[in-house]
Amino acid sequence: MLKNCSAHPLRAALPLLLAILPATLGAQELLTLDAALRIALDSNRVVRLAANEAEIARNNYTSGNAGILPRLDLTAGVGGTLNNTRQELSSGEIQQRSGAASNNLNTGIGLTWTVFDGFRMFHQYDELKLERDLGELDVDIAEESLIAQVTRGYYDVVLEQRALEVIAAVIKTSEERLRNVELKYEVGENSKRELLPAKVDLNADRSAMLRQQVALTNAKTTLNALLARDPATPFAVADTIIVVGDLAYDALLREALAANRRIREAQINRSIAEIDRKQVTSARYPRVGLTLGYNLSQAENAVGNIASNRNAGLTYGVTAQMNLFDGFNTNREAENADIRIASSELDLAEAEQQVETEMLKAYTNYRNRLEVMTLERQNVLLARENLDLALERYRAGAIIPLELREAQNAYVAAESRLLSAEYDAKLAETDLLRLSGRLGR
């Protein structure tokens, strides 16, 4: 790659750049893309919220929540009364007491278990599993979106940093030109007609560097925000945009149809709609339940023939219930469920078609960007060679300063186009990986 070439002219400009910007790359921690992605995935609030919801869905995926397991309850109660009592027995005896107390204690343990409900509980269990899968998919979607944003933000910084290096290289040439003109002016070989334009051009280059510094700072601030850290956190990035140039369309399309997040979400929603249909029809089956319990009761009376009464024993039973007529509501709900299934199938087909369309457009864009990048690399080499030749001829007095400036401008334009081409190619690659489901795996 062009930027990996040790003889590239931007390497020679780095000392100048570091002298002008003492707080830049050399004094800052190098942040790689992998490190940036780890920081973002660990701290991003959207991803963490999605992970929390997924954890709730995982916790809900239990047989007890689906109603498959029995329910066991313990009950206990204590009560009493205070009465003014007068009793006249058949023998003529009269019993009378004020504030007669009666106390009672009730306790028991009971088990209820629905053993058959038309398979509804099992369908509910399957649906809870799909909701868990949907929650985990939401995390994947949030992570995928974040990875795409961080990748773009990271290479925004790389783009602005390399543009700053290009300007630094041009400034070096402009300074040499000004020194040459000043020497000749001092000995009377040149007039101010050559000196003033040289100063103007150098000032224009330095002004461009100041503007580029702002662009680089803003790009870093944006990336820091994506990483959920202090926007002013200093860092440096690698100066290379590595683009994978051998992505194959057929393989990507197969992976997209199997693993694209949008398609997977549509598939899960279709399965949920099918399970909902089964749960509706379960109402046509009888419900069978079991009850089992053990109860203890004790009563104490201050008056009366029975001073104390205690009962303890086992209770059990089987219940069966079947709806014979519900106003055709089950039929209505089944029809609505069928409509929802049909709609979910349409959503799935639409998702697959959209992914295929976007894949073809993204791959076409990707191949085009690779070709543009190749051409612009060649143009940069030619523009740099032209600038070197112009500088040599200018030193020899064979060309006027305007021709040197034109060579400088052509070099800057070529470098800018290359940076944009590499950046666009990387974004096209990222989009392809996102559509195919590879991003984040």
Domains in the chain, please, with CATH?
25-70+118-240 (1.20.1600.10), 246-283+349-441 (1.20.1600.10)
What mean pLDDT is predicted for residues 320-327? 92
**For tokens 């024993």, what's the residue?**
313
CB 223 within 8 A of CB 399: no
Q: Of 60, 353, 362, 14, whose CA–CA distance to 172 is shortest?
A: 14
Which pLDDT score is estimated for 12? 43
Q: Share the mean pLDDT of the chain.
A: 87
Kindly report, residue by residue over 248-264, the tens digit of the pLDDT. 999 999 999 999 999 99
Distance CA 361, CA 428 (A): 10
Distance CA 97, CA 88 (A): 12
Distance CA 163, CA 173 (A): 16
Taking CA 368 as the corner, what is the angle to CA 364 and CA 373, rounded to the nearest 5 degrees? Answer: 150
CB 256 within 8 A of CB 299: no
Distance CA 135, CA 52 (A): 9
Distance CA 166, CA 149 (A): 26
The half-sphere exposure of 75 on its side-chain side, counting CA atoms within 13 A, is 13
Higher pLDDT pick, 32 / 240: 32
pTM, full prediction: 0.79
Cα Rg, the chain, nearest whole Å: 40
Is residue 300 pLDDT above 50, yes or no?
Answer: yes
List phi, psi (to 5°) of 276.
Answer: -60, -35
What is the 3 state secondary structure string of 201-241? HHHHHHHHHHHHHHHHHHHHHHHHHHCCCCCCCCCEECCCC
Is residue 17 pLDDT above 60, yes or no?
Answer: no
Distance CA 438, CA 429 (A): 11
Q: Is the torsion defined by CA of 36, 39, 42, 44 positive or negative?
A: negative
What mean pLDDT is predicted for residues 237-245? 88
